[in-house]
Structure 1
Amino acid sequence: MDSLTPVCNSSAPVFSSLGYCIPIAQPVTSDSTGKYYNIGIVDYTQQMHSQLYDQNSNDLHPTKLRGYVDQNPNAQPTYTTDGGVTSSVAPSYLGPIIVAQHDTPAIVTYENLLTAPFFLPVDTTYMGLTVMGMAQSPNRTAVHLHGGFTPWISDGTPFQWFTASGDTMQPNVRGPSYVQVPGMSDPGAGKWTAYYTNDQSARFMFYHDHAVGTTRLNVYAGMAAGYLITDSQEQSLYGTVLPNNAANNGGLGIPLIIQDKTFVPSSGDITANDPSWNDNPDWGTQGDLWLAHVYKANQDDSGTPDPKGRWDNGKWVYPPVQDPLPKPSISGVAEANMDTPVVNGVAYPYLQVAPRRYRFRILNAANDRHVNLQLYYEGNTPITTSPLPSGQTYVGDADLTRPGPPILQIGNEGGFLPVPVEMNNPPTQWGGVPTSTTMPTPYTLWMAPAERADIVIDFSNIPTGTRLILYNDAPSPAPMGDPRLDYYTGDLDQTASGGAPATLPGKGPNTRTIMEFRVVGTGGETIDYPTFVTDMTNALATIYPATQPPAIVPPGTFVSTRDTKVGGYANQIKSLNEDFDDYGRLKQNLGTFAQHLNNQGINVSGFAYVDPPTEIATKGQTQVWTIANNTGDVHPIHFHLVNVQVVARTDWANNPVPVDPNELGWKETVRMLPGTNTTVAMKFSLPTVPFITPSSIRLLDPTMAESSVNRWHNFGSEYVWHCHMLEHEEHDMMRVIEVYQTSISPENFLLLQQ
């Protein structure tokens, strides 16, 4: 195992055993208007495990990645990217982290430097990658500050993409929603400037790619990084209930950014299992990232069942898709659940901790995989074929009979919780009988993609020399799962059904072992844990009402499936749905319950991203939505612009499904359970900025020619809501939210603009 990549938290940073740290972005200038940053977007390589080797030698093989890099010339010495671009600071996976202050704007100029051929499979049938028969550059990018309260022109929605000045297909092209910050000069070719207000309480956010057609690819390739807002209320907790030593980055905590990857195996293995991979010279070799690129259907085109299939073929469902097109040879897939957990860019890392408290800021940044996090002592059954150092016999697996210390959650993506939530005392394995009084759920810390958890773990009473495992047993896809996607020591050989061979002790793939904590004997503290929990409870009771708005609907309100009003507000009904595209591939969508005829000749709900908007609000308006999940998956629905109150859940028999204790307060990514209605409340405030924000005016579908159906439309302030399982989001589970300054209709407002 290799050590976790730490944050570069000083002028003499500590590096991981692989030689990396995650940098903190440095502003190039600061004044009364805010802090100004320059961040590049580049291809680069980084070693993600010490046993990823080159296929032609025994040398280490750094993995091909793309991501963000601080361009401050005073940060570090210059380096040259794989594409030959010279930049001022070496990129590091998941960096640079931007640490912002409440109410101090951050103005970030991003420069797209992506010019080399993409090293992952690109499906050109996805929206935006073919426009009126012409291929589009896959090296476009749009940058979204996930969770940010930003003007729409800086939100990084899918059509706000831009290409590099040196792009070989489309140099310096800007998407139809690209808008520069009013009053600021054009940043130049291949660049885009975003204005982030930071008018929010302390919280952990992240910025990531959001370009139409390539979001899932770019994020998987590494285009995501942390963004922290801190404030005086949070800082008042440092040194009291929040540890503020150097190991905890002065109080900000340690980021644990969890993803899953699959790495290209040896040339012989890839030829045997994915023969078309080697036909594409731009794709990676052994040790690089692998991504599914064949839509493996449960039935072939003749209707013969395929035991290695993953998703239905629309040609052979009832009623069938009418006249489906031939499936592309390079295809997107319905979900991409990988076989190797990666934390802070390291596969199966370990972190040395002293016997003291630690604050961890956890983000599930996986494309599609959910996690149910628990903490156990590590098992120590001997591995006779691979003895471990110092005579230890640890195997890298959790001993499920020996729970580790409690996990105390104090915040989520909306900031601090109203009360701390204790879990892992004892842990609840997925689907088990609830055992916790404070988290009475059939899981412990369930995190869907894009959810965050601000937690504290007290190691002060854990003996020195102990090792613990951060363990996951969430099924993929949630909630039912496919056993071929659950990798653990001693699992079955599933090669006959298209899965992996059995996992051997101490080896991968293993999606249940996320990382290891090693308790070392220095830098400890003495903690009375019950007193600490009481102190944290009292602290949050003061800070929460001082930093968060009051609830829109009284907490605990029951919402019936037939309620037309909730808390005095009209109850708008939305739906999540499954469908098939014109190639017969499974896809997801969302929208209202309005019906339309699909390609199977049946009436269905839900709309495409480019259909006329149905989610419309005016500035300052409060709305309540009840979202019915008509699919078999749990969908993490993310709302741009707003934080929402999770009011209630109700199953379709009209029985209440309790809101989880760690969902109280405010969220912007909410799990929608199958066969369940989830009610959320939100207020559509718009940020205050020192300029006049123009309206978004574009064709409904910018990838098609103007027509009587595809008309120009005024979106006002254009935001989106979508599933944050990225394969779902991009195909086609996303819709526009348009927010207007006034109640003038969009059509009349467009005439006024003209």
Structure 2
Amino acid sequence: MDRRRFIQASSLTGGALLLPALGTAPPAAAREAVALPPVDDPLYREPIADPAAIPRFADPLPRPSRVDALGGGDQTLVMGPTRQDLLGGGLGLTTPVWGFGVRRRHGGGLSSAGPAPVSYPGPTLVAHRDRPVRVHWINGLPHRHLLPVDTTIHWAFAHTGHTIERDGVPAVVHLHGGHTEPDSDGHPDAWYTPGGAVGPRFDGTRFHYDNSQEAATLWYHDHTLGITRLNVYAGLAGFYLLRDPHELSLIEHHRLPSGPYELELVIQDRMFHPDGRLAYPDVPADSPDWPGGPSVQPEFFGQVILVNGKAWPYLDVEPRQYRLRLLNGSNSRFYRLSAGGRWPFPVTLIGTELGFLHRPHPLDGPLVLAPGERVDLVVDFRGLEGQAHTLTNDAPTPFPDGDPVAPPADQVMRFRVNRARDERVPEPRLPRTLRRGPFRIPRPPARTRRLLLFEGTDEFGRMKPLLGTVERGALEWSDPVTEDPGLHTAEVWEIFNTTPDTHPIHLHLVRFQVLDRAPFTADQDPRTGALSNIAVGQPQQPDATERGPKDTVPAPPGQVTRIKALFDRRGLYVWHCHILEHEDHEMMRNYRIR
């Protein structure tokens, strides 16, 4: 697979991208939808829309609805189809998507009116530490996928006789970052369909989240074997914010922005057909042995940037501090965020995926966010009355050594400081420390494992990224478990990346400490990928943006990334690359805590 050809085909370049008045929307009163101009791309069977024809900064940032689960208890969420105006700009186009809706309880029973309207992103669940929440995830998806399904890879229905037309779309929800028992973790083989078909690890549709962890920015998303990339792309994702007494005390004493000044933002990239439908590549970039039909891609990089399900929105803010909970929910795209290469206003990192940093860390350069990573920021707009600043992205595709980002994907959203300051709300004063000390996994490691990131090809000549071990080489999803930590033991995992790209590695269940990274050289068996004669260079400590509790870590090419985790629940979990195209084909492995 010549990945450069794929990237060049996917990146829309040329003079047609620079249209006058891109930030000017057609009249809002426009009643008839006008199809967007098409652009040819050989990776799509149908024409795709020119991203540059979509107005930017013409619509306000949507805010996901919030579900108050602070007291614990039961919730019922339904996965289902809907239509939303993702493109905005007065174009009059709506997009079929999938999302989540809350089914309310009345008088002790479920409402006969059915679920509340389904939305993409799904509603934000707000829970409290040590107050369990039980969620019944109902699969109400249709019997036809929105996107092209590749049945040649190892996916949910492989060798089962099930079909989407007969049984419906399989789905299973994973609470990403959740400290969750295995039967509620959303294992990729625990899928189920609206027609009653289930996967080999199915254990019911009611998931128990005991919330036995500190305050954190979690998110929930589909995790079905072999079609996660498609189900998430269709819209199956949402936030899950976990509070604890420490965070609530900081809010109560005006040490953190809260209420309308705390916002969750999920950044995702998409492509569209001229009539507004989601577009996703469905032919291989370079595969002479391809038998035909839809094909998985090596990566996907869309040129239309959505924030909370809206293309290039704006946010009107007061001249005060805001707390922004950012999530990179894209399939493959990394973001290197700034405001034109710098920060013309103070931006302070206060937390990583699974909790606060020891001390607030002012950013002095762009912020890199890999797929699946989250950050907790405080942004200070004081003194900027009347100004507008655009959040920009200059991360290459693939990251870090791919092609420069092509417009208009180099812009994300706009902040407009044009709202009157509400003087009734006290201005928060960030504390000097947010946790008692630097985050550490204090227990000494019982074992150090040497793990492998490898890039091979499948039987059709397509790129096939794999995980494995240094000693055994690359391994498939169905190969026997090789990572089997003992219960209540800590381990150091050394992740050797022999591929040309950075991979965001995610471990289910655990939070981990990023120890260091170091360059390495080695001899590699060209058939198995196993390494020998390894020479590791000088380790480099992680920078301040990785010194909080993590569940996803970027592993750069040619380096060994070392993490340390405590494994404190028995059962079967998975670890994988969070580039969803890689996870589906098939850069994911089971691990078992014994």
SS at match of 2:301: coil
Q: Which residue of 2 aligns with 1:600?
A: none
Q: Which residue of 1 aligns with 2:367?
A: 445
Q: Is the 8 A contact 1:357 1:459 kept in 2?
A: yes
Q: Which residue of 2 aligns with 1:701?
A: none
Q: Which residue of 1 aligns with 2:394?
A: 473
Q: Which residue of 2 aligns with 1:625?
A: 493
Q: Which residue of 1 aligns with 2:100?
A: 68
Q: Does 1:519 align with 2:373?
A: no
Aligned partner of 1:656 among 539, 549, 562: 539
Measured in 2, the distance between the counterparts of 1:115 and 1:255 equals 29
Measured in 1, the distance between the counterparts of 2:135 and 2:157 equals 30
Q: Which residue of 2 aligns with 1:176?
A: 200
Note closer, same or farther for the CA distance 1:471–1:619 as it changes in structure 2 (3 Å cut): same
Q: Does 1:723 align with 2:591?
A: no
Note closer, same or farther for the CA distance 1:240–1:172 as it changes in structure 2 (3 Å cut): same
Aligned partner of 2:383 among 453, 461, 470: 461
Aligned partner of 2:308 among 341, 344, 352: 344
Q: Is the 8 A contact 2:61 2:315 kept in 1?
A: no
The alpha carbon displacement at 1:117 in A equals 1.3
Aligned partner of 2:217 among 190, 204, 221: 204
Q: Please, which runs of 5 or more residues in structure 1 have no aligned partner? A: 4-15, 54-59, 80-84, 165-170, 181-191, 266-285, 302-324, 376-397, 428-443, 489-509, 554-566, 596-604, 687-715, 741-754
SS at match of 1:87: coil
- TM-score, reference length from structure 1: 0.65
Aligned partner of 2:66 among 12, 17, 24: 24
The alpha carbon displacement at 1:521 in A equals 4.3
Q: Is the 8 A contact 1:145 1:205 kept in 2?
A: yes
Measured in 2, the distance between the counterparts of 1:92 and 1:135 equals 28
Aligned partner of 2:560 among 654, 671, 677: 677
Q: How does 1:260-279 map to 2 (within 5 A)?
A: 260-265=269-274
Q: Is the 8 A contact 1:129 1:136 kept in 2?
A: no
Measured in 2, the distance between the counterparts of 1:528 and 1:634 equals 42
SS at match of 1:229: strand
Q: Is the 8 A contact 2:389 2:415 kept in 1?
A: yes
Measured in 1, the distance between the counterparts of 2:559 and 2:257 equals 42
Measured in 2, the distance between the counterparts of 1:445 and 1:232 equals 29
Aligned partner of 2:285 among 296, 319, 329: 296
The alpha carbon displacement at 1:104 in A equals 0.3
Q: Which residue of 2 aligns with 1:494?
A: none
Measured in 2, the distance between the counterparts of 1:470 and 1:74 equals 43
Measured in 2, the distance between the counterparts of 1:210 and 1:617 equals 23
Q: How does 1:231-630 map to 2 (within 5 A)?
A: 231-238=244-251, 240=253, 242-244=255-257, 246-248=259-261, 253-265=262-274, 286-297=275-286, 301=288, 326-375=290-339, 398=340, 403-423=343-363, 425=364, 427=365, 444-462=366-384, 464-483=385-404, 486-488=405-407, 510-523=408-421, 532=429, 535-538=430-433, 540=434, 543-545=435-437, 550-552=440-442, 569-595=446-472, 605-630=473-498
Measured in 2, the distance between the counterparts of 1:517 and 1:111 equals 37
Q: What are the Cα deviations for residues 664-705 of structure 1, in whole angstroms up to 9, with x where unaligned?
A: 13100001010000111111102xxxxxxxxxxxxxxxxxxx
The alpha carbon displacement at 1:132 in A equals 2.9
Q: Is the 8 A contact 1:355 1:524 kept in 2?
A: no
Note closer, same or farther for the CA distance 1:119–1:668 as it changes in structure 2 (3 Å cut): same
Q: Is the 8 A contact 2:187 2:573 kept in 1?
A: yes
Measured in 1, the distance between the counterparts of 2:567 and 2:475 equals 22
Q: Which residue of 2 aligns with 1:40?
A: 78
SS at match of 1:201: coil
Note closer, same or farther for the CA distance 1:114–1:527 as it changes in structure 2 (3 Å cut): closer
The alpha carbon displacement at 1:526 in A equals 12
Aligned partner of 2:509 among 620, 635, 641: 641
Q: Which residue of 1 aligns with 2:587?
A: 733
Measured in 1, the distance between the counterparts of 2:129 and 2:209 equals 11
Q: Does 1:145 align with 2:175?
A: yes
Q: What are the Cα deviations for residues 138-188 of structure 1, in whole angstroms up to 9, with x where unaligned?
A: 600011000000100000011100110xxxxxx2112110114xxxxxxxx
Measured in 2, the distance between the counterparts of 1:369 and 1:669 equals 15
Measured in 2, the distance between the counterparts of 1:681 and 1:238 equals 31
Structure 1 vs Structure 2: percent identity of aligned residues?
34
Aligned partner of 2:117 among 83, 90, 98: 90
SS at match of 1:616: coil
The alpha carbon displacement at 1:2 in A equals 10
Measured in 2, the distance between the counterparts of 1:161 and 1:129 equals 7
The alpha carbon displacement at 1:197 in A equals 0.9
Measured in 1, the distance between the counterparts of 2:245 and 2:318 equals 27
Q: Is the 8 A contact 2:156 2:170 kept in 1?
A: no
Measured in 2, the distance between the counterparts of 1:157 and 1:101 equals 24
Aligned-partner residue type, residue 178 of structure 2: G
Q: Is the 8 A contact 2:62 2:308 kept in 1?
A: no
Measured in 1, the distance between the counterparts of 2:64 and 2:322 equals 18
SS at match of 1:216: helix
SS at match of 2:230: helix
The alpha carbon displacement at 1:544 in A equals 4.1
The alpha carbon displacement at 1:327 in A equals 4.0
Q: What are the Cα deviations for residues 20-69 of structure 1, in whole angstroms up to 9, with x where unaligned?
A: 65222256xx98xx41001101011100122474xxxxxx1211101111
Q: Please, which runs of 5 or more residues in structure 2 have no aligned partner? A: 1-22, 26-57, 521-535
Q: Is the 8 A contact 2:156 2:199 kept in 1?
A: no
SS at match of 2:581: helix
Measured in 1, the distance between the counterparts of 2:475 and 2:414 equals 44
Measured in 2, the distance between the counterparts of 1:229 and 1:72 equals 21
The alpha carbon displacement at 1:238 in A equals 1.2
How many residue pairs are counted as aligned between the two chains? 520
Q: Is the 8 A contact 1:35 1:105 kept in 2?
A: yes
Q: Is the 8 A contact 1:359 1:457 kept in 2?
A: yes
The alpha carbon displacement at 1:93 in A equals 1.5
Measured in 2, the distance between the counterparts of 1:263 and 1:414 equals 33
SS at match of 2:485: strand
Q: Is the 8 A contact 1:371 1:473 kept in 2?
A: yes
* Aligned-residue RMSD, C-alpha: 2.8
Measured in 2, the distance between the counterparts of 1:536 and 1:526 equals 21
SS at match of 1:98: strand
Note closer, same or farther for the CA distance 1:226–1:245 as it changes in structure 2 (3 Å cut): closer
The alpha carbon displacement at 1:328 in A equals 3.3
Note closer, same or farther for the CA distance 1:622–1:97 as it changes in structure 2 (3 Å cut): same
Indicate the larger mover: 206-215 or 89-98: 89-98
Q: Is the 8 A contact 1:21 1:92 kept in 2?
A: no
Note closer, same or farther for the CA distance 1:155–1:528 as it changes in structure 2 (3 Å cut): closer
Note closer, same or farther for the CA distance 1:65–1:655 as it changes in structure 2 (3 Å cut): same
Measured in 1, the distance between the counterparts of 2:139 and 2:468 equals 33
The alpha carbon displacement at 1:243 in A equals 4.2
Aligned-partner residue type, residue 347 of structure 2: I
Whichever of the two has the greater Rg, that structure is 1
Measured in 1, the distance between the counterparts of 2:236 and 2:317 equals 29
Q: What are the Cα deviations for residues 414-443 of structure 1, in whole angstroms up to 9, with x where unaligned?
A: 2101122111x4x3xxxxxxxxxxxxxxxx
Note closer, same or farther for the CA distance 1:550–1:403 as it changes in structure 2 (3 Å cut): closer
The alpha carbon displacement at 1:593 in A equals 1.7
Note closer, same or farther for the CA distance 1:21–1:663 as it changes in structure 2 (3 Å cut): closer
